[in-house]
Amino acid sequence: MKNAVLSELFDQMADIMEILGEDRFRINTYRRVGRIIADVPTDIETLLASGDLAKTPGIGKSSLAKIEEFVKTGTITAHKQLLTKIPPTLLELLTIPGVGPKGVKTIYEKLDVKTIAELKKAIKSGSLAQLPGFGDKKAAGIAKGIEFLEKSTGRIRLDQAVEAADIVTGFLKKLPGIGKIQTAGSLRRRAETIGDVDILVAAKNGKKIIDAFTKAAFIQEVLAAGATKGSAIIRTESAPVHVDVRVVPKKSFGAAAQYFTGSKQHNVRLREIAVKAKLKLNEYGLFKADKRIAGATEEEIYKKLGMDFIDPLLREDRGEIEAAKIHTLPKLIDFKDIKGDLHVHTNASDGNTDISEMARAARDMGYKYICITDHSKSSAIANGLSTKQLANQIKQIRKLNEKIKGITIFAGTEMDILADGSVDFDNKLLADLDFVIASIHSGLASSREKVTTRTLKAMDNPYVNCIAHPTGRLLGQREPMDIDMAAVIEHAAQTHTALEVNANPWRLDIKDVHCKMAIEAKVALVIGTDSHSTAGFSLMGFGVATAARGWATKADVLNTSPLAKIKSWVKAKRP
């Protein structure tokens, strides 16, 4: 699929035009087209050939011409022309968290700063802080952003890791003489970001398999190729990814899976337990003197160490070993427990398709309900709904519910929490909705006190049922707000408000440890995909894994409940 590359080109054109100070309307159009292309599940070439692209709302004639040009030639002339208008290093500045095109424009025009190194100097000398609209606080934030950027290089998101693992396992499966295949490491544990992708293969002839792997079409660069291990950078749609393939014998496959899955802290504890029992645990097996007493499966290793099997999602040394010994591990939530998605956008705001298509796609996944939660008026960039538009949407949803069978569509909103903690719609309109989520989309860099009070106050509203993406982080791109999560969780419990586990791999917000805190405080979790297209529904698994890493069971997550229970749950908070 060329969609990722093409979407990037549109985004970059919008960035450059913004740096150049061009027409806002055209900039927004390009951004929207970029997003639509990134979100459609179908290959852009297929979509173009079928004529469906021309019919897609948001794709105008001139955008369509650019897409056609890209499909034919691989480039867009307008993009190339724009690139000649700015120093190319300015685009690097855009990768700094907290620096947008407007900031780059000012920095470049006023200080002639073109590179990250020059920007660092301008921060040090104090000249950045003196720019209009900057100041000491903002300059310090940008310095932090640069630090974050320099630290975070090399780590990839879960979806990128899964994509790479799928490519490689798909290839390995077809080779002769292959037994079990298993991903390991932080990917198997569904950690929030991944360093490199580890894949284990049970087979006899390691050399042959490593040879085939390192010669595969997806290889960008081979880092090492031995008799049992191959290490390479592979190409994917979204990023180059470091993948290690290890070939191990069948009899020690479980031991290798356990060892390479980690985490390090979890494994240290397991080895200590083994030593105390006068045993030895390593990647080849569990040994009593020289005799292997377990190794083919992970289950038998945990059993011989005197504990229940520990799900990879829990292997972080956060109490799971103690619980496994006394048989009190939770029965973790599973994807099949999910009955619906309560965070869904449509083309009424910034999504790319309509309510009925989203509802039908959700029904095909086996869901019993979805809640349409388009943005509210303060999110102008996201084309938020006015009071009147939302009132109309509610009517539209009531009608659709009579037409579409097999799924219930809830009318909802993702309403902006304003700077003073008030919300975008009045209670009269909110009372007509089935489920209301509120979230912060601006002023994320404000003080801890400000962002915390703002969130607490929104929860006091009797119609707000859930706070979406409570920390506002974007992995690898934007730090979370400096929000007091302990206070947020406490207040959520007091006000009967749920907290979202946003399943988008950019967000995973709230994160695992906060999920655990929330569950312990008896706060309900809602796992939502924040889908802007039907393809977005496929992200649910990342949210489920994140909640499970926080020890969530089915009972801890609201959207595992049947419809009637959600209704009574919402009612319980209302006057």
Contacts of residues 397-403 at CB distance under 8 Å and 24 or more positions apart, as own/partner, are 397/355, 397/372, 400/355, 400/356, 400/359, 403/356
Structure tokens at 217: 């079409």
Structure tokens at 349: 């705001």
Q: Which of residues 187 and 361 has its CB atom nearest to Zn ion in the complex?
A: 361
531 touches Zn ion by CB under 5 A? no
Name the amino acid, one letter, at 78: A
Residue 247 main-chain phi, psi, to 5 deg:
-105, 125
Residue 118 CB, nearest approach to Zn ion (Å): 34
The site for Zn ion, by CB under 5 A, has a size of 3
**Window contacting Zn ion (CB under 5 A); options: 218-226, 388-396, 522-530, 564-572:** 522-530
Assign 514 to helix, strand or coil: helix
Q: What is the number of the residue whose Cβ is closest to Zn ion?
A: 530
Residue 437 CB, nearest approach to Zn ion (Å): 8
- Residue 287: exposed, middle, or buried by beta-carbon count in 10 A (0-12, 13-18, 19+)? middle
In this structure, are residues 159 and 193 in contact, taking their beta carbons and an 8 Å threshold?
no
374 touches Zn ion by CB under 5 A? no
341 touches Zn ion by CB under 5 A? no
Task: Please tell me the total number of residues recorded for the chain in this structure.
Answer: 575
Residue 162 CB, nearest approach to Zn ion (Å): 22
Q: Which residues pair with 478 in a beta bridge?
A: 474
Residue 252 main-chain phi, psi, to 5 deg:
-120, 20
455 touches Zn ion by CB under 5 A? no
Tell me the C-alpha distance between 236 and 24, whole Å.
33
Q: Which of residues 262 and 470 has its CB atom nearest to Zn ion in the complex?
A: 470
Q: Which of residues 48 and 338 has its CB atom nearest to Zn ion in the complex?
A: 338
Residue 470 main-chain phi, psi, to 5 deg:
-60, -25
**Window contacting Zn ion (CB under 5 A); options: 80-88, 189-197, 397-405, 413-421:** 413-421
Cα–Cα distances (Å) from 55 to 63, 76, 77, 349, in that order, read 12, 21, 24, 18
Residue 374 CB, nearest approach to Zn ion (Å): 8
Residue 414 CB, nearest approach to Zn ion (Å): 5
Q: Cβ atoms within 10 A of the Cβ of 199, count? A: 24
Nearest alpha-carbon partner for 439 in 368, 548, 526: 526
Q: Which of residues 252 and 439 has its CB atom nearest to Zn ion in the complex?
A: 439
**Window contacting Zn ion (CB under 5 A); options: 199-207, 405-413, 414-422, 560-568:** 414-422
From residue 200 to residue 239, the character string flagging contacts with Zn ion as x (rule: CB under 5 A) and all else as - is ----------------------------------------
In this structure, are residues 267 and 310 in contact, taking their beta carbons and an 8 Å threshold?
no
Q: Which of residues 165 and 371 has its CB atom nearest to Zn ion in the complex?
A: 371
Residue 417 CB, nearest approach to Zn ion (Å): 10
414 touches Zn ion by CB under 5 A? yes
530 touches Zn ion by CB under 5 A? yes
Structure tokens at 465: 């049922």
Residue 475 CB, nearest approach to Zn ion (Å): 15
To the nearest 10°, report the CA torsion of 487, 476, 504, 165: -130
In this structure, are residues 441 and 420 in contact, taking their beta carbons and an 8 Å threshold?
no
182 touches Zn ion by CB under 5 A? no
Q: How much of the chain is helix, strand and coil, in % rounded to 5?
A: 50, 15, 35
**Window contacting Zn ion (CB under 5 A); options: 197-205, 263-271, 322-330, 410-418:** 410-418
**Window contacting Zn ion (CB under 5 A); options: 218-226, 271-279, 475-483, 527-535:** 527-535
Q: Which residue in the block uniquely carries the two structure tokens 């979100």? A: 39
Residue 221 CB, nearest approach to Zn ion (Å): 38
Binding to Zn ion, residues 21-60 (CB under 5 A): none
Q: Which of residues 156 and 372 has its CB atom nearest to Zn ion in the complex?
A: 372
Name the amino acid, one letter, at 507: R
Residue 540 CB, nearest approach to Zn ion (Å): 14
Q: Which of residues 244 and 530 has its CB atom nearest to Zn ion in the complex?
A: 530
The upper half-sphere exposure of residue 239, i.e. CA atoms within 13 Å in the direction of its Cβ, equals 19
Residue 503 CB, nearest approach to Zn ion (Å): 11
424 touches Zn ion by CB under 5 A? no
- Residue 502: exposed, middle, or buried by beta-carbon count in 10 A (0-12, 13-18, 19+)? buried
**Window contacting Zn ion (CB under 5 A); options: 239-247, 278-286, 432-440, 510-518:** 432-440
Tell me the C-alpha distance between 154 and 55, whole Å.
39
Q: Which of residues 191 and 438 has its CB atom nearest to Zn ion in the complex?
A: 438
**Window contacting Zn ion (CB under 5 A); options: 392-400, 412-420, 517-525, 538-546:** 412-420
Name the amino acid, one letter, at 317: D
Q: Which of residues 134 and 425 has its CB atom nearest to Zn ion in the complex?
A: 425
Assign 13 to helix, strand or coil: helix
Residue 200 CB, nearest approach to Zn ion (Å): 37
Residue 410 CB, nearest approach to Zn ion (Å): 15
**Window contacting Zn ion (CB under 5 A); options: 5-13, 286-294, 415-423, 434-442:** 434-442
Cα–Cα distances (Å) from 477 to 147, 155, 445, in that order, read 12, 12, 14
In this structure, are residues 517 and 486 in contact, taking their beta carbons and an 8 Å threshold?
yes
**Window contacting Zn ion (CB under 5 A); options: 105-113, 277-285, 334-342, 525-533:** 525-533
Of residues 439, 461, 529, 533, which one binds Zn ion by CB under 5 A? 439
Q: Which of residues 304 and 478 has its CB atom nearest to Zn ion in the complex?
A: 478
Q: Which of residues 7 and 439 has its CB atom nearest to Zn ion in the complex?
A: 439
**Window contacting Zn ion (CB under 5 A); options: 64-72, 290-298, 411-419, 513-521:** 411-419
In this structure, are residues 469 and 432 in contact, taking their beta carbons and an 8 Å threshold?
no
Residues that bind Zn ion (CB under 5 A): 414, 439, 530
